[in-house]
Amino acid sequence: MKELIVGIDLGTTNSVLAVSIEGQIKVIDIHGQPTMPSCVGLDSSGKLIVGQTAKNQLIAAPDATILSIKRKMGEDTKVRLGDKEFSPEEISSFILRELKQEGERQLGQPLRKAVITVPAFFNERQRKATQIAGELAGWDVVRIINEPTAAALAYGANRTADETMLVYDLGGGTFDVSVVVVEKGVVEVKASHGDTHLGGDDFDDLLVAHAIAAFKARHGVDLAGDSKVQRRLKVVLERAKCRLSDEPFVAVREEYLDGKHHLEMELDRRAYEALIEPFLEKTLTCIHQALQDAKLIPKNLDKIMLVGGSTRTPLVHLLLQQRIEVEPRWEINPDLIVAMGAAIQGAVIAGETHHSILVDITPHTFSTSSIGFFEDDERLISVPIIPRNTPLPASKSEVFFTLTDHQAEVRVEATQGENPLAEQNTLIGAFMVEGLSKVPSGNPVVVHFDLDLNGMLKVTATEKNTGLAKSVIMDTRGAHVLNLDQARRNIDSLLGPIDSETVGTKQAESDGELEADAEPEEMLITAKDLRKRAETLIQKNVDLSDADEVRDLIHRSAEAIKNRDWNLLNKSNAALGDLLFYLED
């Protein structure tokens, strides 16, 4: 058995441990969660605590808790924890030791070797300090790699054709952007730029200031100088901020904030995004700087990859799309991607040749529709709620407003497809919400989409001011078979006729759950696609032994279809898919 070499993202805010097991990159849960706060503390009995437990006492015991030690790595300094002093390396080693112990417990075997990531801008001293921290924790640090390189590896950089990528990393405390070039399988950071004091923490501070101002306006009490209140608000508002990435409004309530009054306020995503936009503008300036250093222009970029929790903010995607004109990739969880890339590097060092990351994403955009302008005409336009490539399960909402005074009802549609015009996309279902309040136009209605791994879409529309709501569950699985007859003919022409009884699809309905059994049909369509790709590949002179394997799998797939053995077809699809993943450019 090969020795496991783990990958560690030793982050400012959170740390992550990942490893390749049987060719599959897996993130190891630490204390039940995939990410562990990079937080170290002493509890009331003086015992060392690491991770979420330490973070939980941050408000109550700030002197006995340390967060963001990464910022001090490489400095000749000490930090105080209780009545003792520690170097940044020592504090980081507590985090790395916790990952080691928890990882060993989860996997039931000793872990010794690790690849640890650092920001591309880290100098030699900071890299050395990271290595020392690892060794103090009992790791054999086999390599220190750059975070953007790890992110690029997670997206299969070492297996793809030559590419130029931009890694946009917006975390809690820092922003980094790197231009990464892949040439002949070698991943290299060409240029890096960033701001070591720009990230989600700044956004939290803006929200805290906003809440303190609102509290003062309402109750006449100024809490600006009260550090305990500020810390309390930061925790609550950080949570609310994260929810704003998926919801248009978030209600915040903190009881007895000043000992007498409650804080009650509502955050609005649009207002929040307007607040942080100047920070995001700075990140765009950094991108241009990095591109300039690499002697490139945005047009030269093949991909943008998103890293760091703050990239979940919808405005980040929008700005990158509009201003750099490259759609950002975020199929891989931005909190986990760096550790996964480090685990790939670990697997490569350990001599593994096959490693992959499984991601469940939606390949289509799910939208609702609303009256809007398209090429100067008033039309029913698509308003994306869950964009394509969103990891599943996904849960997102948007707000819409009634158009006329006393509007008593609204029609809510769910469509699938990429066209800006609703009518050009596939309608999955629609329903009416009746009995809205008799109020002037502009009455907000929140439309919420919940899409699960099985393709069931729950659509809920809620009149914001009254809570009047209606939910409908729709089956999206049949929806992408735009023309069933056409699909059948395609399959027949390639694979021979299929017994029509086995290929059932159901039209999505607007009410109630569906029991569609679309699996065989989807498998057949997948089989057809895979077979086409496999044959193209064989024609392209792949290695002889690979070609034999591909042929064998095509044969197995055909046999499975002939015998209507869906289980076998599923397996041969998976095997062929995997093989193509490695062989295709």
Nearer to ligand AMP, 201 or 521 (CB): 201
Count, residues in the chain: 585
Q: Look-up: residue for tokens 């050395």?
A: 128
345 in contact with ligand AMP (CB under 6 A): no
For residues 432 and 410, the answer to whether their CB atoms sit within 8 Å is yes
Q: Which class for 353: exposed (0-12), middle (13-18), buried (19 or more C-beta within 10 A)?
A: exposed
User: What whole-number distance in Å separates Cα of residue 518 and Cα of residue 529?
Assistant: 17
The one catalytic residue among 102, 147, 413, 475: 147
387 binds ligand AMP (CB under 6 A): no
Cβ 312 to ligand AMP shortest distance, Å: 4
Provide the minimum distance between the beta carbon of 336 and ligand AMP in the complex, in angstroms, as a whole number.
10
Shortest distance (Å) from residue 245 CB to ligand AMP:
4
**Cα dihedral 223, 227, 232, 236 sign:** positive
Tell me if residue 291 falls in helix, strand or coil: helix
Selected catalytic residue, list 9, 102, 331, 398: 9
CB 356 within 8 A of CB 18: no
CB of 311 to ligand AMP, least distance (A): 8
CB of 175 to ligand AMP, least distance (A): 10
96 or 524: CB nearest ligand AMP: 96
Cβ 310 vs Cβ 174: under 8 Å: no
Closest by CA to 266, choosing from 247, 251, 286, is 251
Which residues between 223 and 262 bind ligand AMP (CB under 6 A)?
238, 241-242, 245
Specify the residue, 87 or 313, whose C-beta has the smaller distance to ligand AMP. Answer: 313
Q: Which two tokens stand for residue 508?
A: 């999505």
Sheet holding 469-475, edge to edge: 394-401, 444-451, 456-463, 469-475
Q: By the 8 A CB rule, do 308 and 338 touch?
A: no
Q: Which is nearer to ligand AMP, 170 or 474 (CB)?
A: 170
Calpha distance 545→579 (Å, rounded) = 12
Contact stretch for ligand AMP (CB under 6 A) within 198-206, 406-414, 415-423, 480-488? 198-206
**Exactly one of 200, 341, 346, 455 binds ligand AMP (CB under 6 A); which one?**
200
Q: 224-245 b/e with 16+ CB inside 10 Å = b?
A: eeeeebbebbbebbbebbbebb
Contact pick of 130, 149, 313, 572 for ligand AMP (by CB under 6 A) = 313
Is 11 one of the binding residues for ligand AMP (CB under 6 A)? Answer: yes
# binding residues, ligand AMP (CB under 6 A): 19
3-state secondary structure of 165: strand
Q: How far is the CB of 171 from ligand AMP (least distance, A)?
A: 3
Cβ atoms 457, 450 nearer than 8 A: yes
**Interaction of residue 14 with ligand AMP, rule CB under 6 A:** yes
Residue 120 CB, nearest distance to ligand AMP (Å)?
Answer: 15
**3 state SS of 469:** strand
Task: Give the C-alpha distances (Å, rounded to integers) separating 304 from 185, 292, 408.
Answer: 18, 16, 44
Nearest to 385 by CA among 425, 343, 348, 342: 425
Choosing from 89, 90, 102, 169, which is the catalytic residue?
169
Establish if 13 lies at the interface with ligand AMP (CB under 6 A).
yes
Considering the complex, what minimum distance in angstroms separates the CB of residue 174 from ligand AMP? 8
Query: In this structure, are residues 168 and 311 in contact, taking their beta carbons and an 8 Å threshold?
Result: yes
**Is position 341 an interface residue for ligand AMP (rule: CB under 6 A)?**
no
- Least Å distance between CB 335 and ligand AMP? 6
Closest CB to ligand AMP: residue number: 200
Tell whether residue 312 is a contact of ligand AMP (CB under 6 A).
yes
Pairing mode, if any, of strands 163-170 and 175-183? antiparallel
Task: Determine, following the binding rule CB under 6 A, whether residue 425 of this chain makes contact with ligand AMP.
Answer: no
Distance CA 386, CA 384 (A): 6
Lookup: tokens for 529 = 């696609």
- Which lies closer to ligand AMP via its Cβ, residue 307 or residue 324? 307
Selected from 148, 248, 308, 520, the binder of ligand AMP by CB under 6 A is: 308
Q: Quick one: 103 or 200, whose CB is closer to ligand AMP?
A: 200
Q: What is the distance between the alpha carbons of residues 290 and 91, in angstroms, rounded to a whole number?
A: 32
Say whether the peptide bond before residue 393 is cis (omega within 30 degrees of 0): yes
| Cβ 36 to ligand AMP shortest distance, Å | 10
Residues 519, 44: Cα–Cα separation, whole Å: 56
The stretch among 82-90, 199-207, 441-449, 541-549 that binds ligand AMP (CB under 6 A) is 199-207
C-alpha 50/C-alpha 65 separation (Å) is 9
Do 283 and 146 contact (CB within 8 A), yes or no?
A: no
- Report the residue number, 93 or 333, with the smaller CB distance to ligand AMP: 333
Phi and psi (nearest 5°) for 261? -110, 155
Q: Is 310 in the site for ligand AMP (CB under 6 A)?
A: yes
State which residue, 239 or 532, has the beta carbon closest to ligand AMP: 239
Q: 147 an active-site residue?
A: yes
Catalytic residue among 55, 70, 234, 528: 70
**Does residue number 37 form part of the binding site for ligand AMP (CB under 6 A)?**
no
Tell me the CA distances in angstroms from 475 to 453, 472, 487, 512, 514, one per residue in order.
Answer: 12, 10, 19, 9, 6
Which CB atom, from 339 or from 550, has the smaller least distance to ligand AMP? 339
**Can 169 be counted among the known catalytic residues?**
yes
Looking at the Cβ atoms of 65 and 245, the one nearer to ligand AMP is: 245
Does 333 bind ligand AMP (CB under 6 A)? Our answer is no
178 vs 369, which CB is nearer to ligand AMP? Answer: 178
- Among 171, 341, 387, 520, contact with ligand AMP (rule: CB under 6 A): 171
Is 402 an interacting residue with respect to ligand AMP (CB under 6 A)? no
The DSSP secondary structure of 368-436, one letter per residue, reads EEEEEEETTEEEEEEEEEE-TT-BSSEEEEEEEE-SSTT--EEEEEEEESS-SBGGGSEEEEEEEEE--
Residues designated catalytic: 9, 70, 147, 169
Binding site residues, ligand AMP, CB under 6 A: 11-14, 171-172, 199-201, 238, 241-242, 245, 308-310, 312-313, 335
